[in-house]
Structure 1
Amino acid sequence: MDHCLADSPPIALDVARGVTRMFARQQLFAVCEVPLPNHRRADLMGIDAKGKLVIVEIKVSRADLMGDAKWRDYLDYCDRFYWAVTPDLAPICDGAAFLPEVAGLIVADRYDAALSREASDLKLAPARRKAETLRFARRAARRIAADLDPSLGEAF
């Protein structure tokens, strides 16, 4: 968990934990804070049993949710995009600015999460999917290796 939302408020880690639990039941496994080639960083990125990539943007305050202008930059790197929010923020995500016809919605706390709205299938191009799947797998493996030997870290 060293990489999981280290600079975020504790409630963001709670939401990440709830989402991770829900995803695991669906055989979808995610890691926190995944850098993307466009210099953005996904709060959670996961892969399901069919190889579809999912990005989750976690928001735990109204100001952060309303002020986020970068989230559309994630859409080119996933098959499905979700907002993950606390229950009090869920109604805001139904607004047109949050593209409810594209973006899914997950309501979460530290114990679990519930899918409030399914995300549209964005269908990554095959070359992009291959590149992002490889990048995702290598990052996850590197993090596991660094757990065994911290000197490996993110530098490799």
Structure 2
Amino acid sequence: MVRPMPVDPIQTQIAIRRAVNHLCGQMGWAALNELVLPDGRRADVMALLPDNGFACIEIKSGPRDFLADRKWTCYRAWCDQLFFAVDRAFPLSLLPEATGIMVADTDSLPAGLNVIAETAILRAPVTNALPAARRRKLTWLFATQAAGRLARLDDPAITTALRAARRVE
């Protein structure tokens, strides 16, 4: 039995994100969800590529999500490649031509199973090389945020103690 596409936009985003992270892993890309950029915005997925490039992947749960959110234009300044990741029902004609397109087949997931949707890159994005100083900054942000998350997973108690100590200072 084939499960219908998730109707809840949050569930759709989660399914697309899982599929994108799986595809990144298959391609040898190191993906980090919700990377906080220097301007305070959060990239849905930032991937460090084998050639030291960065791909920003903006997940859109549907046309309304895309049309209501124009902050993605700011992400171009922080990546070499910008992708949109959507499900198969998304009208691709809405997406800007210079961006890449990843499509997750979320509607083919069997009901009740914890599986990952298949994802394909339908269009490669225009590549714009980051300036060297910005690439260094982004590499440092990527590494420190990933290391911080790993440390919190490794020892949650010390993370709580450190946060409490910072509030006292």
Please tell me the TM-score bracket, short chain as reference.
0.7 to 0.9
Q: Scaled by the length of structure 2, what TM-score is found?
A: 0.79
Matches within 5 A, 1:55-134: 55-89=56-90, 91-92=91-92, 94-95=93-94, 98-100=95-97, 102-108=98-104, 109=106, 110-134=116-140
Matches within 5 A, 1:16-35: 16-35=17-36
What is the root-mean-square deviation in Å for CA atoms of aligned residues? 1.9
2-side partners of 1:30 and 1:112: how far apart? 17
Q: Count residues with an aligned counterpart.
A: 144
Say whether the 8 Å CA contact 1:42–1:74 is kept in structure 2: yes
Instruction: Indicate whether 1:41 and 2:4 are aligned.
Output: no
2-side partners of 1:57 and 1:42: how far apart? 7
2-side partners of 1:69 and 1:27: how far apart? 29
Percent of aligned pairs with the same amino acid: 29
Q: Which runs of 5 or more structure 1 residues have no equivalent in the other structure? A: 1-7
Q: Which amino acid aligns with 1:63?
A: R
Q: Scaled by the length of structure 1, what TM-score is found?
A: 0.85
2-side partners of 1:99 and 1:13: how far apart? 23
2-side partners of 1:112 and 1:146: how far apart? 30
2-side partners of 1:120 and 1:24: how far apart? 22
Instruction: Indicate whether 1:138 and 2:144 are aligned.
Output: yes
Q: Which runs of 5 or more structure 2 residues have no equivalent in the other structure? A: 1-8, 107-115
Would the alpha carbon gap of residues 50 and 134 (structure 1) be closer, same or farther in structure 2, given more than 3 Å must change?
A: same
1:148 to 128, 151, 154: 154
**SS of the counterpart of 1:88?**
coil
Aligned partner of 1:4 in structure 2 is none
